[in-house]
Amino acid sequence: MGNKMPREIAPGVFWIGDCLAQRHKGKVYHGYNAAFLVAGATASVLVETGHPKDFPVIERHLAELFARGVAPLKYLFVTHQETPHCGGLGRILKRFPDALLCGDVSDYHLAFPQYEHRMRWMNEGDEIDLGGRTLMAVEPVIRDLRTTWWGFDTRERVLFPGDGFAYSHYHEDGHCGLVAEEAVSLDLPDVSAVFADLALFWTKFANMDAYCERLDHLIDRLGVRTIAPTHGLPITDVKRTVPKVKEGLKYAAGVPESGTNEKVAAVVAAAS
């Protein structure tokens, strides 16, 4: 990926972070554990803090952006309390002592009691003022945890859906650092189904047609122009690409679970 990142996917919205390789059904997929910096005139907010292994990469990307004159980091917005999303939280709070953590901040004080005074609760519709734009907490249609919130940049209409729109990509095809529409050889329904099978097991017990309708409603209501998922390539053509992701979600919901059994087999094979 290297020189492709940081990448500006919309004016003032920068994609940073790195890939994580994972094996599934004999293939090696790359999944992003991305973070995004949204820069206003007076402040920036970091959406997600990355996987623990990604902190050196994220720190380097942030330093590069601030050296370009991007507004200073004053806020963190983490979609939910899971390692790939908040794994860098403590180190980011230490590295940027003026930054406030915003969102559903449940339990973070138990891990980082020294930073509790820098945590701010947000409810749906609450906004972080960055100067000329805000980041708003919006309905999390596809939740990974009860505490999930999605973020929305009100100026450029960028949606940050956390584990929503999660899918892998093919490293060998050069997809790392590309937006979804540039990865022409990517089978979006297939890789979306793989991610749903491994990470969103609850989708097998839910009416995904209803969830997809709710996604459409949210996208229409907010006028979303760009989608920046934590675990997928950014989507810059919503009308063209979102139907492919929804197709994968619906397909995965009807397929028997396979990920856990494969992991057990892989462990046994490695041991032998």
- Cα 224 to Cα 130, 156, 262, distances in angstroms: 19, 8, 37
Within a domain: 69: yes
Q: How many CB atoms lie within 10 A of CB 202?
A: 11
Domains in the chain, number: 1
The CATH number linked to 161 is 3.60.15.10
Q: Which domain holds residue 115?
A: 2-183+223-237
Cβ atoms of 101 and 81 closer than 8 Å: no
Is the pLDDT at 267 greater than 60? The verdict is no
Closest to 163 in 3D by CA, of 198, 189, 188, 137: 198
Q: Going by C-beta distance under 8 Å and a sequence separation of 6 or more, which residues neighbour residue 264?
A: none
Reported confidence tier of residue 108, pLDDT bands at 50, 70, 90: very high
Give pLDDT, residue 200. Answer: 72
Within a domain: 85: yes
Write the pLDDT tens digit of every residue in 199-219. 677 777 888 889 999 999 999
Mean pLDDT calculated for residue range 180-197 = 79
Within a domain: 190: no
Using the structure block, give the residue that is written with the tokens 């690409």. Answer: 241
How many whole angstroms separate alpha carbon 17 and alpha carbon 179? 14
Is the pLDDT at 259 greater than 70? The verdict is no
Write the pLDDT tens digit of every residue in 14-60. 999 888 777 666 667 677 789 999 999 999 999 999 888 899 999 99
**Ramachandran angles phi, psi of 239, nearest 5°:** -65, -35
Is the pLDDT at 140 greater than 80? The verdict is yes
The one-letter amino acid code at 113 reads P
The model scores a pTM over 0.85: yes
Within a domain: 136: yes
Within a domain: 78: yes
User: Residue 46 pairs with which residues in a beta bridge?
Assistant: 37, 76
Within a domain: 244: no
Within a domain: 258: no
